[in-house]
Structure 1
Amino acid sequence: MMTRHSDSYRTPARLFHWLIAVAVLLMIPAGLIMTQKGIARPLQDALFLFHKNMGVILIPLILLRLIYRLRHPAPPLPSSIPAWQRSAASVSHWLLYLLLIVMPISGFIRVRAGGFPIELLDRLGVGPWLAKSDALADAAKGLHYAAGMALIALLALHIGAALQHGLIRRDGVWTRIWPPLRPRS
């Protein structure tokens, strides 16, 4: 069953979704690998550079996406979706937004309070904004890790549900967000 365009996300929402999804799906393995012991130093340095600077780029993208989402609510789910799944979808989407905000902010705090550079911001002349504080850096590191594990679990659920709707149920839920650009009528 195909959805009508009125049941689909608008093109800006699709673009925000897929840009952020690709970035996050690249950052997760980078973050997991860069913190392992025994990784070659050049690879580790490259992953840290990518992870920190992509986090800085994601902060405004995520905030813009959230503002857009608040101004343009999601299209209604098909009536065939049970109420408990509608509730689960709503809760999981808002938790994803929360985690997508917590992750780069806690990462920023961890890096800056730890006294480390964020090359993109440093090149732009943006100051550190935070004084060096090992206690704050450690707290932010713990939050970043816990939120990262929660994000991985929630993304697995989100992707699993999307695949179930797209490949098994074929109920039009997947086509609401895919493709990233709305097909022309």
Structure 2
Amino acid sequence: MSSSPVLSYSIPQRLIHWLMAGLIFFNLIFTEGMEELTEAAEEGQTPSADMIASANIHAYVGIGILCLAVLRLILRLTHGAPEAPADEPPVVRLVGKIVHGTFYLLFLVMPAAGIAAYYFGIGTAGELHAGPMKLLMWVLIVLHVGAVLVHQFVWKTPVIQRMTKG
């Protein structure tokens, strides 16, 4: 294995990043089917075929995110990741590590909680999935995008290119 520093993410890492981003946004935005199905079940109503289909799509996308997250973690461990820019303030570097670590944790735990709720009826898992985990995911996305924009336009460091051009 080479000891040279990793300057960019590999093509598979970049593809998985953007695919996961799209799937995560999809599931964060389109939750109505799962919410309607949960509400119908709580009220003792028979769910419609559309409710079930919509909830299943949400579940399948979540399972896809979980599978991609495992693959992404394997790639990160085997291919590495670029270091933060050398002139990045240490506190920002630390926050970046915490945000990325929390992202990876959520990539695994959030779908697992959704699976526990949907397939095994564990209500607490569903409440955590749709409540604090969802909110934390949105906060992390805002922090992540904000950091990329600060790097690009304030500090003039091309970190975005590591995940776009390579």
Shorter-chain TM-score range: 0.7 to 0.9
TM-score by length of 1: 0.73
Aligned length: 150
Measure the CA separation in 1 of the matches of 2:151 and 2:51: 38
Partner residue in 2 for 1:133: none
Partner residue in 2 for 1:123: none
Measure the CA separation in 2 of the matches of 1:47 and 1:164: 37
Matched, 1:100 2:107: yes
Moved more, 168-177 or 91-100: 168-177
Measure the CA separation in 1 of the matches of 2:29 and 2:13: 25
Q: Residue 165 of structure 1 contacts residue 171 of structure 1 at CA under 8 Å; is this kept in 2?
A: yes
Matched, 1:176 2:162: yes
Shift of 1:24: 0.4
Q: Residue 7 of structure 1 contacts residue 77 of structure 1 at CA under 8 Å; is this kept in 2?
A: no
Shift of 1:72: 2.2
Tell me the amino acid that sits aligned with residue 144 of structure 1: H
Q: Residue 20 of structure 2 contacts residue 68 of structure 2 at CA under 8 Å; is this kept in 1?
A: yes
Alignment of 1:32-111 (within 5 A): 33-34=32-33, 35=35, 44-111=51-118
Unaligned runs of 5+ in 2: 40-47
Moved more, 85-94 or 141-150: 141-150
Identity of aligned residues (%): 31
- The CA deviation string for residues 95-129 of structure 1, in whole angstroms up to 9 with x for no partner, is 00001111111101101112xxxxxxxxxxxxxxx
Matched, 1:159 2:166: no
Partner residue in 2 for 1:128: none
Moved over 6 A (4+): none
Moved more, 19-28 or 71-80: 71-80
Measure the CA separation in 2 of the matches of 1:69 and 1:97: 11
Unaligned runs of 5+ in 1: 115-136
Shift of 1:50: 1.9
Moved more, 88-97 or 158-167: 158-167
Between Structure 1 and Structure 2, the one with more helix by share is 2
Tell me the amino acid that sits aligned with residue 154 of structure 1: L
Query: Are residues 70 and 6 of structure 1, via their aligned partners in 2, closer, same or farther at CA, if it must alter by over 3 Å?
Result: closer
* 3-state secondary structure, aligned to 1:7: coil
